[in-house]
Structure 1
Amino acid sequence: GGLSAVKEKDLPRREELQKKLDKYLKGRSFFIFRADNRFRAGVCKFVNHRYFERVVLVMIICSSILLAVDNPHTEDGRSAAEKLIFEILDIFFTTVFTIEMILKMIAQGVFHPKTAYLRHTGWDVLDFCIVVSSYISFAADSLNISYLKTFRVLRALRPLRAIRRVQSMRLVVGALIRSLRSILNVLMVCLLIWMIFGIIGVVLFAGKFGSCNVDEAVLSVLRADAIKAIGGENVTVYYNAESQPYVIDQDNVTHTFSDKTLCNGTWMEADLSWKNADFTFDDLGQALMTLFVVASFEGWLTVMYQAVDATSIDMQPVRNAHTPAALFFIVFIIIGSFMFLNLFVSVIFINYHETKQRDSGFSNLNDNQIQYIEEIKLILRLKPKAVPPIPKTRFRRFFYRIVLHNAFTYFILIAIIINVLVMSMTFYDQPTDYGIVLEAMNVVFTILFDIEAVMKIIGLGPAVYFKDGWNIFDFVVSVGSTVELFLNFVDTSVLRVLRIQRMFRVFRATRVFRVTRGLSGFTELFRVVVVALPSMGSNASVLVLLLFCYAVLGVNLFGAVKIGEGGFDPYANFSDVLIAMMTLFRIITGEDWNQIMVNAMVQPPDCDPASNCGSILAPIYFISFVLVGQFVLMNLTLAAVVGKLIVVSIV
């Protein structure tokens, strides 16, 4: 009986495998192996076995770990043994992926038929390109061909191979790819609108965002009224009310630097130089990049005020010289960002959900039928609670009636609210007597909540009580608070070393969450989170994978860029994969991402061109990441929550 049950369980897998064999075993692979060739059939069964895919997934994860550890900019500091280990591991993983590719080519064919390796899916083409780029990188290292070493950065795409082997991630990415045509159509419309504003910006502001600057490294403040000395006591630089620099020499003669020629041609010994702004409208490419920064709302005020202060081409800016210039940016934000950028996000929402419904088999169903299926899924997932059975003994029935009475529920809710208010009254350096009163009230509430837990366990019974997730949470909080209360009477010198008391004090703060249990609105939101977690998890996993790939790519591109003045911030750089991922997560939140991009483009004289300068690819890297990470994936997570909120509100 057990053997037949196992066979019945394996039957769907066998049927699925047979479908794949019928699908792939067509034509001749490598012009040698026919469709009925036993060797080819065996290879096809092997590569389509679930354990084969799992082994390949493990290899992808291990190779990704190697990418995270292998920093190309620290190779010179490695020992010979470390270099050999990295080379062997790189060759090993490349060999494994090559064998996988060849086996799949034998099973499916290379170019013919339509199900062949290089024609069936884009994922196979991606695998092929990654393997080929690895061999080109090996050849570049062996022959010392510098321009071919750029293929090494394509190794950052290796983790993307995991997407096709994880179904939830494959559904998300597949839906995005199939929505690409509609997304590109809207993106082209947005780009057209931005180009119009970009051309207008070039006409209005080209060459006007420069200013005469003094090298801050040689400045020293002489007086509080901002008089600064350069190069000696007889040469001083002043800034007038419009922030324009001028110099008074030893003969009391005033020299102004109102334009680029005077700034660069006079008083060079005073380290005066004409410097262009980080974001300008000098050409259409610069204008589009500046408008993208403005549309992201990060640093847009700086750009607008530079336009307001602009006077003429290569002339020193004057504060509030042209205030109406602000209208250009206000109109662009309303049209280019609020309208068309949000339209771009909306199209992503709609097409993503429609494509995901088709992938889930809902393409032949109408909206009401899809809604009905979602409601059934919601009901099954939430598992409605049954009414606790009435105890048989009089003693337990007494507590049963109390803990299920509305008055008891409201009493506990009021106690929780008062306890939260008491906890919020604590502050630094509070009076001793005040602290004693608060601590005494905390003891009272701790005992009260312990009594509540005991009464519920007696009245409902341990089996029923611990079936409810909220009851488990309440019990853990009560136990933790009681332990923390007990630790107050233990030798504090020991606890201070172990920090145990502080750890248990966290349980006291978690009582805040108990307030939400009695609020019906929060209960509905909690149901939304429970239902949306699978979709949010899928989107989050794709986002983490994107962060990792961009981090590896960023380390290869910007890992050597200087850290310090003119370069990266010590807390936001690409020196290793972990810091790079933290930097990229910061960029997703929109925090100062434009300045990080500027730092990644640092050029001489602010860096050494032989070792620590930036890359001209920085705008492509950062803008593409902001577009995909912030505007697409983060908004898809929001769309998943909103979609489930609609379903829950209907149910």
Structure 2
Amino acid sequence: MELKHKEEINNKNSTLRTSIRQLVEHRNFQPIVIGIILLNGLIIIAETYFTGNNLLLFLDKIIVWIFVLELIVKIIGLGFRGYFSNRWNIFDFSIVIGSLLFYTTPFVSVLRLIRVLRLIRMIPAIPALRKIIDSLMKSIPALTGILGLSILIFSVYAIIGTTFFRDVLPYEFFGSFHSALFTLLQVVTFESWASQVARPIIHEVPWAWAYFVSFIVIGALVILNLVVAVILSYLGQEDEAQLKEQMDRFYKENQELKRDIQEIKQLILERNNN
């Protein structure tokens, strides 16, 4: 009798968990979560205009508890192992728990940071954004080589700049190695580099045009394109991996279908022989 009672309880728990899992995996569940995140962003933006507004603070508290409820529902529906096996779920968990723990903290700056980080939950909520971030993370090992090349090029040009242009412009441009690095960063981003940096130096040192042109070609065009090429290659690999996975699944289904047809054919032949 006791064993039967336990089985009934387990069946009820299993049914409840299945129902919650179906709720979590429903096609309208994720859009609703995205809508709440967008509403949270609008409230945070509104608070920059109406600081300390009681209505906005009340709505923010409600959204925090909605996120907590979403977290609990997902953990129940997917299970602890299923939920925490996804690193994006771990990220969501950290943001929500951080929002809950720091909501009453006296450190206002920490609370504001956590509230802004809640908007980053949009990334795991939208598959396209999640795909881009996953590709960026996978491309980091390949980008380290490009980063090393960039450091080398910047260092060489910074040393050349401090050697020849130290006395042409004020100290904050090429007066030291670190200031030269910052100036080269300004040049590579094309931010007022011609009028503020290049032309005054070329006016005093005519051959300096070769310095700036070569640095822009190497630093801004070549290296930037290398970074873009690496990231795009990993985005393409993601698509190829998904395509290969689908083809493997279709192949397995095709093989199973062939086996089923062979078994049916064998049963028909045996029946006809009998």
The two structures share one fold, judged by TM-score above 0.5: yes
Aligned equivalent of 1:6? none
Once the two structures are TM-superposed, the CA of residue 550 in structure 1 deviates from its matched residue by 1.6
Contact 1:399/1:458 (8 A) holds in 2 = yes
Residue 587 (structure 1) aligns with? 187
Between the aligned partners of 2:94 and 2:41, the Cα distance in structure 1 is 17
Determine whether 1:424 maps to 2:45.
yes
- 1:642 partnered with 2:232: yes
Match of 2:154 in 1: 547
Q: Secondary structure at the match of 1:437?
A: helix
2: distance between equivalents of 1:422 and 1:602?
Answer: 52
Paired residue type of 2:222 = V
Q: How far apart are the structure 2 equivalents of 1:562 and 1:418?
A: 50
Query: Within 1, Cα distance between the matches of 2:236 and 2:88?
Result: 24
Match 1:630 to one of 217, 220, 224: 220
Aligned residue identity for 2:80: P
Deviation at 1:527, TM superposition (A): 4.1
Equivalent position of 2:35 in the other structure: 414
Q: Give the secondary-structure state (helix, strand or coil) at the position aligned to 1:543.
A: helix
1:462 aligns with 2:62: no
Instruction: Name the counterpart of 1:472.
Output: 90
User: What SS does the corresponding residue of 1:625 show, helix, strand or coil?
Assistant: helix
| Matched residue SS, 1:510 | helix
Cα offset, 1:627, TM superposition: 1.3
Identical counterparts, % of pairs = 24
Counterpart among 211, 219, 223 of residue 621 in structure 1: 211
The yes-or-no answer on 1:440 pairing with 2:58 is: yes
Mapped pair 1:505 → 2:106? no
Deviation of the 1:511 alpha carbon: 2.2
Other structure's SS at 1:511 match: helix
The offset of 1:628, in angstroms, is 0.8
Please report how far the alpha carbon of residue 644 of structure 1 lies from its aligned counterpart in structure 2 after TM superposition.
3.4
After superposition, give the CA deviation of every residue in 1:130-188 in whole Å (9 maximum; x if it has no partner): xxxxxxxxxxxxxxxxxxxxxxxxxxxxxxxxxxxxxxxxxxxxxxxxxxxxxxxxxxx
How many correspondences in the alignment? 229
Q: Is there any run of 5+ residues in structure 1 with no aligned partner, and where?
A: 1-390, 488-494, 604-614
Amino acid at match of 1:576: S
2:198 corresponds, among 581, 597, 618, to: 597
Cα offsets for 1:487-536 (capped at 9, x unmatched): 2xxxxxxx4xxxx3212321211222222333333234334334433333
Q: Tell me which of the two structures has the higher relative contact order, counting C-alpha pairs closer than 8 angstroms and 6 or more residues apart.
A: 2
CA distance in 1, matches of 2:111, 2:158: 37
What's the secondary structure of 1:426's corresponding residue?
helix
Return the match for 2:140 from 533, 536, 544.
533
1:521 aligns with 2:128: yes
1:596-649 deviation per Cα after TM superposition (whole angstroms, max 9, x unaligned): 12333464xxxxxxxxxxx45422222211111112111221222333334444
TM-score using structure 1 length = 0.32
Higher normalized helix content (fraction of residues): 2
**How many angstroms does 1:440 deviate by?**
0.8
Alpha-carbon shift at residue 580 of structure 1 (Å): 1.3
Residue of structure 1 in register with 2:255 after alignment: none
Q: For structure 2, list consecutive stretches of 5 or more residues without a partner in the other structure.
A: 1-9, 244-274
- Structure 1 residue 589 displacement after superposition: 0.9
Deviation at 1:552, TM superposition (A): 2.4
Q: How does 1:182-581 map to 2 (within 5 A)?
A: 393-394=13-14, 396-397=17-18, 399-428=20-49, 430=50, 435-487=53-105, 495=106, 500-563=107-170, 570=172, 573-581=173-181
Q: For the residues of structure 1 that align with 2:90 and 2:51, how far apart are their CA atoms?
A: 36
Taking the aligned partners of 2:30 and 2:236, their CA distance within structure 1 comes to: 29
When normalised by structure 2's length, the TM-score is 0.71
Runs of 4+ in 1 over 6 A off after TM superposition: none
The two structures, once aligned, show a CA RMSD in angstroms of 2.8
Distance 1:398 1:501 in 2: 40
Give the residue type in structure 1 aligned to 2:118: R
Q: For the structure 1 residues 468 and 622, does the alpha-carbon distance in structure 2 shift closer, same or farther, using more than 3 Å as the test? A: same
Aligned AA (2:42): L
